[in-house]
Amino acid sequence: MSLVTSRYNLTVPYEDGALLFNANSGAILHLHSEEGVELADALCAYPALFDLQGVDEVILERLLKAGFILDDTQDELSIVRERFNFSRQNASAVITVMVTNDCNLGCYYCFQSRSEDNLAGDKEANTLAYLKQRIESCGKKQVHINWYGGEPMLKRDYISRLSYALQAFAEDSGIRFEASILSNGTFWPKNPLAFVEEHKLTTVQITFDGTEATHNKIRRRRGKAGPEYNQFAEAVRVIDAIHKDCHVEVRFNLGPRNTQEIFDFVSFALQRGWLKEGSRTKLQLAKISPYSKGVDFIRSDQLLYAEFKQIVDRVRKLIPDHFFDSNTALGELPKPRRAVCSAVAEDSFIVGADRKVYNCGLQVGEKTSAVGSLERHNGNTVEQAQASWWRSFDPTERPKCKVCTFLPLCWGSCPKLHLEGDDHYLDEQSEYWRSTLPKRILNSVGATTEVAFNESQQFKTGKPTELDPTAGT
């Protein structure tokens, strides 16, 4: 048997030696001394034959078990592919219901085209029947409904009607029901916690653009009619009421117009107890980006990734790591991915307010992106072609991803970026992993050294060479 090094080995300097990490198994080893560093470096050469001569059996066993070396007949890429396909087939059904296209606020960067389209009214029975049919036919024992808009709370009564009907259906069918909502924090009822409990909301995401004055300026109210309200104060009221009982994602959108505001906002959130023990809040820092072609002007009015990262690093020093969402937290050592995004998960889909069915929430309203409609179950030719693209998305076949060391952790990032050939944002993903992964590896052993991977550590396309395996043993 010949043994070869894994493509997914990575190393960072640590204390007297090096940490060796395998992205496909999640295993980590501390190798001591100069010889340990040599062994780690040798194992990171790819692909390289591993000469068994003189290697301590215990070390060999450990390296094999942890996936740092493997039998040369094994195809690592197909292992990643199988894991991806298994996760896509076995993901729980996540159904996003875009209740309305309308929104009471007008953020300049919003990628959604606002309209009067909504799912409430005389076609409610149709929508319910469609959802029941899809839930029943997929055979999953758990369903998650994600209420989305526009601003979904503009149609709060409709959410309640549909939620109660689906909860009753799920109970009769022995299916576990849970839900989440993305809201701007306005138009909530007097008792937000009662609403959360009655609609089985496990997560509420509320977005901010700054402290009060900036938030209200960027998230300006649309339309003159109706009662006056303070959009910032409303969102704060909702979070105050629910953050100890429900998972709250406080998303802060960062762009060149509000970079300094995040620090005041974090102080404010700390004062309110949102980022202190006993709270179930997570802070999500998001870079304002042109999520659709309609807001392409943002390309020239956004933070560079390096600027964004600098701010994130500063904010990290202000609050405990576990109050960040998983993209920002350094948290634990990253594990190989087990969950696909809902756009490629079997049995997950989005019902648009235009009554069309989509795979990705960022495509809702794009006429040629639908994969079906509430009335037409099999879709027309364009819809079938779209559906087939999502079904066949495979990150292990994307030219860059298939040679990328981060693939088992990243799975090609966002499939929509591949669909649109958006290399700029795909490159940002590479940058994200190159700068974040070494920090997370070191953080797992309590170290905080500043180190980043480079492109040659990320993309491994070399030819087999002999390596000296005895170094460090």
Of 5, 258, 413, 436, the residue at the interface with ligand SF4 (CB under 6 A) is 413
Q: Select 86 or 229, whichever has its Cβ closest to ligand SF4.
A: 86
Q: What is the DSSP string of 286-312?
A: EE----SGGGGGGGGSS--HHHHHHHH
Q: Select 23 or 99, whichever has its Cβ closest to ligand SF4.
A: 23
Give the Cα separation of 432 and 55 in Å (integer): 36
CA atoms within 13 A on the CB side of 383: 15
Q: Select 182 or 262, whichever has its Cβ closest to ligand SF4.
A: 182
Minimum CB–partner distance for residue 461 and ligand SF4 (Å): 12
Minimum CB–partner distance for residue 431 and ligand SF4 (Å): 9
Burial class for 174, CB neighbours closer than 10 Å (0-12, 13-18, 19+): exposed
Give the Cα separation of 242 and 232 in Å (integer): 16
Q: Select 18 or 404, whichever has its Cβ closest to ligand SF4.
A: 404
Minimum CB–partner distance for residue 415 and ligand SF4 (Å): 4
Q: Select 117 or 394, whichever has its Cβ closest to ligand SF4.
A: 394
Q: Select 104 or 342, whichever has its Cβ closest to ligand SF4.
A: 342
Of 370, 404, 437, 441, the residue at the interface with ligand SF4 (CB under 6 A) is 404
The amino acid occupying position 286 is A
Of 401, 437, 441, 442, the residue at the interface with ligand SF4 (CB under 6 A) is 401
- Taking residues 357 to 396 in sequence order and writing x for each that binds ligand SF4 by CB under 6 A, - otherwise, the string is ---xxx----------------------------------
Q: Is 93 in the site for ligand SF4 (CB under 6 A)?
A: no
Of 12, 206, 410, 437, the residue at the interface with ligand SF4 (CB under 6 A) is 410
Minimum CB–partner distance for residue 366 and ligand SF4 (Å): 12
Minimum CB–partner distance for residue 12 and ligand SF4 (Å): 17
Do 248 and 242 touch, CB atoms closer than 8 A? yes
Give the Cα separation of 176 and 374 in Å (integer): 24
How many residues bind ligand SF4 (CB under 6 A)? The answer is 21
Q: Helix or strand or coil: residue 390?
A: helix
Q: Is 247 in the site for ligand SF4 (CB under 6 A)?
A: no
- Token readout for 235 is 């969102």
Q: Is 184 in the site for ligand SF4 (CB under 6 A)?
A: no
The amino acid occupying position 97 is V
Compute φ and ψ for 356, nearest 5 degrees. Answer: -100, 160
Q: Select 162 or 341, whichever has its Cβ closest to ligand SF4.
A: 341
Of 208, 274, 308, 406, the residue at the interface with ligand SF4 (CB under 6 A) is 406
Buried-exposed string 254-263: b where 16+ CB fall within 10 A, e elsewhere:
bbebbeebbe
Give the Cα separation of 253 and 288 in Å (integer): 6
Give the Cα separation of 171 and 228 in Å (integer): 40
Beta strands in 232-378 (DSSP E): 247-254, 281-287, 349-351, 356-358, 372-373
Burial class for 320, CB neighbours closer than 10 Å (0-12, 13-18, 19+): exposed
Q: Is 11 in the site for ligand SF4 (CB under 6 A)?
A: no
Binding segment for ligand SF4 among 26-34, 163-171, 427-435, 465-473 (CB under 6 A)? Answer: 427-435
Binding segment for ligand SF4 among 22-30, 313-321, 429-437, 444-452 (CB under 6 A)? Answer: 429-437
Give the Cα separation of 291 and 299 in Å (integer): 10
What proportions of the chain, in percent to the nearest 5, are helix, strand and coil? 40, 20, 40
Show contacts with ligand SF4 in window 323-362 (CB under 6 A): 341-343, 360-362
- Residues in the site for ligand SF4, rule: CB under 6 A? 341-343, 360-362, 400-401, 404, 406-407, 410, 412-416, 426, 429-430, 433
